[in-house]
Every structure is written in C-alpha cells, then in structure tokens.
Chains A and B, each alone.
Chain A
Amino acid sequence: MMITRLVNVAVRAIRRNKMRSSLTMLGIIIGVATVVAMVGIGEGASSTVQNQIAAMGDNVLMVMSGGWNRGGVRGGTGSRHTLTLEDVDAIRARAPSVALVAAMTRSSAQVVAGNLNWPTGIIGTTPDYFTIRDMRVTQGRLFTTAENNSASKVCVIGTTVAENLFPGSDPVGAIIRVKNLPFTVIGVLESKGSSPFGGDQDDTLIAPLLTVQRRITGSTTIHMIFCSALSRQDTPQASEQITTILRSMHRLEKSEDDDFFVRTQTDIASTAESVTGVMTMMLGSIAAVSLLVGGIGIMNIMLVSVTERTREIGIRMAVGARPRDILWQFLVEAIVLSLIGGVIGVALGYGICEAVSKIAGWSTLVTTQTIILAMGFASLVGVFFGFYPARKAARLDPIVALHYE
C-alpha cells in the first residue's frame, strides 16, 4: 500500500475514536512540551551567561596569587600573596600583547553615610581598571591617576551601595566613612547586574589603590592584576607573556610550579557553559523520561485498541489484508498519533517558554535543533512503542479475530 493511503487509513481510524486518540496523544503532548520547555529554559540560561561574560569583556585576563607547596602540603589560590607592584610594572613594560594593566587589592568593611550603614566589598585599584572592565559612571566621574598617586580619599560606588546609603538622594559629593575615614563619593557606577555565578556586581565601593593600601588595609598586598589583551585573539599570547614575565620576576626555577594563576574570560566562559550545559542536559533528561512515559501510554492504549478492534482486524484480513498490511496500519497509526502529539507538544512547550519569560522573567531560547530533537524523539517513541501492538495485531488468526466478541 502506498504511504499516502496508509496515512489516510490511520487518520480515519484516529478520527473515528477521538476520545481514545486524544488521550493517547496527551502523553506525547506532555512529554514533548516538557522537553521543549525544559531545554528552552536551559538554553536560555546558558545564552544569558554567555552574554554576561561577553559583557565583562572577552579580552580580559586576571592574574591571581598562587598557592604554595611546602613539603607536599598545598595551599589554594590566593593563600599566599606573591604579586607586587613591580610585577604590574614589568607586565606593563614587557608584555607586547597586553594593552592595559591594573593592580587590584580587596577588602571589606561596614561603610557609613549619615545614619545608614551597609557592608560592602572595597576595591583599591588604578583608573585603567575601569577601562579594562568596561565600567562607566551614570553620575559624577571616575577617579584619575593623579588622585591615585596622591592617595586622595575619593571613591566611586555601585548602585546597590548607592541605593542603601543614599535612598532618594544624590550620592555624588556626599561623604562615606570607611573604617572611620571620610571618603568623598565622586561617581556612581553603571549597573552591571549579577555575575554569571550569582554575585551582585553593583555591591561595591572602588577607591584609588594607594588610598586603600595606605589608609584602609595598611599593607602593600596586591590580590589580583587585571589586564586587557590587545584583542580577543591576542588573549592566549598575552597569557603566555604574563606567565613568562612573572616567572622571571619571581625567580622560579624550571622545576618549580607557577606561584600565580592567569585566568582568561574564555576559561570562565567555558566553565560557566559547562555548568549550564549540565543543567540543560539534566532538565532535558528529566523531560525525556516524561516522553518515555508518554510512549508507554501509547503502547498501552494501542494494545487496548488492538484488542478492541480485533473484529475489525479479522474483517480486514478476510477481505485480503496481509499480516504486513495490518502491521503497517497500526504502526503508521501510532506514528501519526505521536507526530500530531509532537506538533501540539512543540507548540505547547513554546508557549510555556514564552509564559516563563513573561512571568518569571527568565530568558528562554527554543532553537530549531530542540524542535527537531523533540519531534524526532516523538516519532521514535511512536515506532518503538507502536511496533509491539502492531505486531500483535498482525499475528492474529483471522478466524479467531472474525468471531471475537
């Protein structure tokens, strides 16, 4: 029989028993919708992360103090402070692929303005830091190299700090006390939102490096060096140059491990991507289980249908249907059911994604790939779970089938 006639017969059979058909389809609809929605949400999350990382600047390199290894006992990243201002100058002078370098030191404090206080992270750095990390002010200005060199008591603050210390008023020109030292707020940073790992990037106070070192922490420790490569493509060379320079600065023997780490945004991006990738996979496989359950539903109802239609099968055989005609009839019926269910499921899943975007504000992304995957899986389920009932139908003895009550 030709495929169009097979489909025709299948569609007629499906329409003849609408209730049973729609119940059968329901399992597939839910399964496919879940796959599409789950994968859509997962992919949306991963594309959000990628955008955030791109927003941080894809040519940024971070140098962190390394761990130590003494007699086999190892300390972790940053457990020993090996970076110095000389390292910063050396990178600036000798790394051709590096455009900008900024030293950074970190602290935290309960900061006070008027009768309000707020705990926040304090960053001491040089003005190049703003350029490297693509930070801008929405009000006021950033501090200058001169202000850094003179250890001026000025700072710029993130929006979270501004909202908590100066609700409803203009922070620019106001005084913030950090460890009892008055700082003049000269600017408010543009909001950067949350980091790929959930931290609030706006909960920060940035002051000149020398000011923080001399007046707040009282040490010359440098926690990190931020560098920007000339371009994204130069990032690997920049990383290598920095490694070579720092090894020579730190007089490390060939056999010794680095006492610092160079991380690029690409590293972070791939970590984040693998995290969201695992999430998408997990959501997808949970959804796949529901599709499997839908498939078992199809098999279940097809088996009932074969029993219920035993006499029909007998009549068809009596008028000349071969066993394989019966096999194909039921198989095509199962496939058509799952495909129709698949189409409805894709539409429903897409709708769920849209609703989630609107209501929860998560970004979702339904790709053609996801749709093809879901539809392919649905038809596979149809073939797989339709085959057993179809074979059962094809193997019926026409005499028994004809007299089945």
Chain B
Amino acid sequence: MEPLIRLVSVSKVYQMGDIRIRALHSAGLDILPGEMVAVKGPSGSGKSTLMNILGCLDRPTSGQFFLNGRDVANFTADELARTRNQLIGFVFQGFNLLPRTSALENVELPLLYSGTPQKQARKLAVDALTRMGLAERIEHLPNQLSGGQQQRVAIARALVTHPKVILADEPTGNLDTLTSLEVMAVFQELNRNGITIILITHESDIALYARRVLSLRDGRISRDEAVAPRDAMIDLEEVRRQKKTEETDDDDH
C-alpha cells in the first residue's frame, strides 16, 4: 500500500542568534492510510517540530516529505494552506475554538476557506456536529460548553472537510480522566471508519490506545513499535462503573 505520509531524512534546524538548534535529525518515517499512531517523547524531543511539519504548518530545512504522494517540502505558503485545508484536520490541546463564535460557525470555518457554498457548508457542519453527539448544541458558544464538548466541537471542525489524516496535539491535555477516555473513544471510532490518526502526547497512558507508538528523543525517532491497543470504550465503562460505586459508597456513609 502507498504510504499516506513518508518522511525521508527530514531535518529541521532553527537559527537562534548564533546558536543552531537541530530540532529534528534525519527523521525517516512511513505512515500508511488507516493507521493510528502515537508520537511520544519528553519536551524538547522534537515532538512539536515533527507535528508542525506533518501538519504542513512548517517546512523542513532538508529532506523530503511526501503527503498523499506529493512532496510538500517545497510548497509555497498558499499550497501549504490548501493542503492543510483539504488533507489535514487539527485537534489541539487548548481546543482552539474561536471565542464568542457558535459551535456551528466554528465547524464551518474550514469550509469558508475551501470555497464550499454557504448552504452546503452549513449542512456538512451540522452533520459533523451531529456525528460528535452535539446536534442539540450547535448554537452554543464555546464558553457555554464543557471541556469535553469543546474538544468534540474541535474534532467536528477537523472532520468537516473529510481529511485524510487527523493530527491531534495533546488532545486530552486539558481534560480529566473520564473526558479523556471519551475523546480517545471518539478517535478510535473515527480510526475504525478509516481515518488516519496521529496523536502527539507526552502521556504514556494515552499512547496505550494507539496501534503504533513512535518515541522521540533528541530530535531522532528512537523507537517505533506496533502495540495491541486498549479499547477506550471498555476502559470508559470501567471508570464510569467505579465512579458509580464510589458515589453509592458515599451515600452509604
């Protein structure tokens, strides 16, 4: 199978005054369509740099980056923008929803830049929100939604253009255990439906739900292993049951 993502000795060097910082060192990587990959590593390991390059937010200093068969390493800013719009969906740690803007308008945002007609855009956005279980809350503003709901709006926004890959940067970083599991369950569900998912995380327990784990250290991919993923849905049920028991215990006292 043709890889969706192929990095060939990709390096990224930052020039900070007189100091050159090598954030990524000849990284090579293939990701096939339909994979669910977790990228983990301590801060400063090059995670963010890798995420920015995979997300077409930044260009590598050297090397080749094939996305969906095309070398995007030398794309112009406009071509990168179009690629982000059509092939990639982003989910961020801080949700990054537009404030004072309804869930619906937030989800419509990518379609504004793809030139989708207004009516069709509205329909697609409503569909994506419905898929995330937020049909009742399309007119809510971000500050009227819980953290988990906000992150589901963000996932709906990432999904609405039917991208090939979803890049999630610490998607559960701001969420409690229960909500984190809910979000992971959503990602697993999406992955089962064929969407490639790349999770960037420093939490090992989140990486447990991926089928492949990449470890980064000092700008190099130090480990790349296939793992048997846990099912977030089952864990979620377990946590819910525990919670319920605790509450019942509390009632007994």
Verify if A112 is at the interface (C-beta below 8 Å from B): no
Judge whether B101 and A16 touch: CB under 8 Å.
Answer: yes
Verify if A214 is at the interface (C-beta below 8 Å from B): no
**Interface residue from A5, A17, A315 paired with B118 (Cβ < 8 Å):** A5
In A314-360, which residues have CB < 8 Å from any B CB?
314-325
Closest A-chain residue to B79, C-beta based? Answer: A322
Judge whether A319 and B157 touch: CB under 8 Å.
Answer: yes
Shortest beta-carbon distance from B79 to chain A in Å: 9
Shortest beta-carbon distance from A284 to chain B in Å: 40
Cα A314 to Cα B81 in complex, Å, equals 12
Interface of A is mostly: helix
Judge whether B113 and A320 touch: CB under 8 Å.
Answer: yes
Verify if B145 is at the interface (C-beta below 8 Å from A): no
Interface centre among A12, A16, A318, A399 (most CB of B within 10 A): A318
Judge whether B86 and A320 touch: CB under 8 Å.
Answer: yes
Shortest beta-carbon distance from A76 to chain B in Å: 73
Shortest beta-carbon distance from B193 to chain A in Å: 21
Verify if B135 is at the interface (C-beta below 8 Å from A): no
Judge whether A402 and B78 touch: CB under 8 Å.
Answer: no
Judge whether B100 and A16 touch: CB under 8 Å.
Answer: yes
Verify if B52 is at the interface (C-beta below 8 Å from A): yes
Interface size on A, residues (CB 8 A): 23
Closest B-chain residue to A394, C-beta based? Answer: B77
Q: Which residues from B are CB-within-8-Å of A321?
A: 81, 113
Closest A-chain residue to B82, C-beta based? Answer: A320
Shortest beta-carbon distance from B105 to chain A in Å: 8
Cα A398 to Cα B77 in complex, Å, equals 10
Verify if A1 is at the interface (C-beta below 8 Å from B): yes
Shortest beta-carbon distance from B89 to chain A in Å: 8
Shortest beta-carbon distance from A326 to chain B in Å: 10
Cα A12 to Cα B99 in complex, Å, equals 12
Q: Which residues from A are CB-within-8-Å of B58?
A: 399
Verify if B114 is at the interface (C-beta below 8 Å from A): yes
Q: Which residues from A are CB-within-8-Å of B31?
A: none
Verify if B109 is at the interface (C-beta below 8 Å from A): yes
Produce 1/0 per residue, B174-215, CB < 8 A to A. Answer: 000000000000000000000000000000000000000000
Shortest beta-carbon distance from B57 to chain A in Å: 5
A1-B113, A320-B114 are known; give 11 further A-B pairs, CB within 8 A.
A17-B100, A312-B99, A314-B96, A315-B96, A316-B113, A318-B90, A319-B109, A320-B84, A320-B113, A323-B77, A402-B96
> 28 A-B pairs, CB-CB below 8 angstroms?
A1-B112, A5-B112, A5-B118, A9-B112, A311-B96, A314-B96, A315-B109, A316-B109, A316-B113, A317-B57, A317-B81, A317-B84, A318-B84, A318-B90, A319-B110, A320-B81, A320-B82, A320-B86, A320-B114, A321-B81, A322-B77, A322-B78, A322-B81, A323-B78, A399-B57, A402-B57, A402-B92, A402-B96
Q: Which chain A residues have a beta carbon within 8 Å of chain B's beta carbons?
A: 1, 5, 9, 12, 16-17, 311-312, 314-325, 398-399, 402
